[in-house]
Chains A and B, each alone.
Chain A
Amino acid sequence: MKTTVVVIRTTDPRRCAEALRAAVGLTLRGARVLVVRASTVSGDHPDIARCTGTLRALGHDVDAPASSVRHADAVEVWT
């Protein structure tokens, strides 16, 4: 099973939502997905809570530490 880390380094709520939507998508082929929140998003977007909830419901970590990237097979840094 591959491990993919999605690092969110944007303050834009729309970009954050897209990053989380991508994170949900990355779970579709059985990968373990971890989300590292490396920035504070300024504002809200309805998909942020929805995607975060989906990832949690599927058992993925949405508050992973930055050190998670060390063991990742793939890393996407969203800026």
Chain B
Amino acid sequence: MKHLGIVITTAPSRGDFERAEALARAAREQHIDVSIFLMDGAVIWATDAQATELLDLGCEITACATNLHALGIDDLEPGVVRGGQDDHAALVHRADRVLAFA
């Protein structure tokens, strides 16, 4: 596997971002490219320092602009891309494996 895609849609109370983060770190240790798409309740992670840590490891993180707008979130961690469902589709298209925390 060269590219792992991770989709997270659940609110922080579910703990899925931490699970995804651990998987992303493990994948990066194996030099596997990691792309993360945040939508629905998970877009809040686009404002969290934990996202920056994953970006520093070389992960790509995109958050759904529709959900960001609905939640009134304007300021994202530097490096997090404000995207859309086309980015979601692109992630699934490009990745060798996709893990969805939905």
Q: Which residues of A approach B to under 8 Å, CB–CB? A: 2, 4, 15, 18-19, 21-22, 24-31, 73-79
B-side residues, CB < 8 A to A, are 5, 7, 9-10, 39-40, 66, 84-86, 88-90, 92-93, 95, 98, 100, 102
Q: Is the CB of B85 within 8 A of A24?
A: yes
**A22 contacts which of B88, B93, B95 (Cβ < 8 Å)?**
B88
Q: Tell me, in angstroms, the Cα distance from A77 to B40 when the chains sit together.
A: 14
Distance in angstroms between the alpha carbons of A24 and B86 in the assembled complex: 10
Q: How far is the CB of B55 from chain A (nearest CB, A)?
A: 23
**Cβ distance B62 to chain A, nearest Cβ, rounded Å:** 12
CA separation between A76 and B102, bound complex, in Å? 7
Given contacts A31-B93, A78-B102, A25 and B40 within 8 Å (CB-CB): no
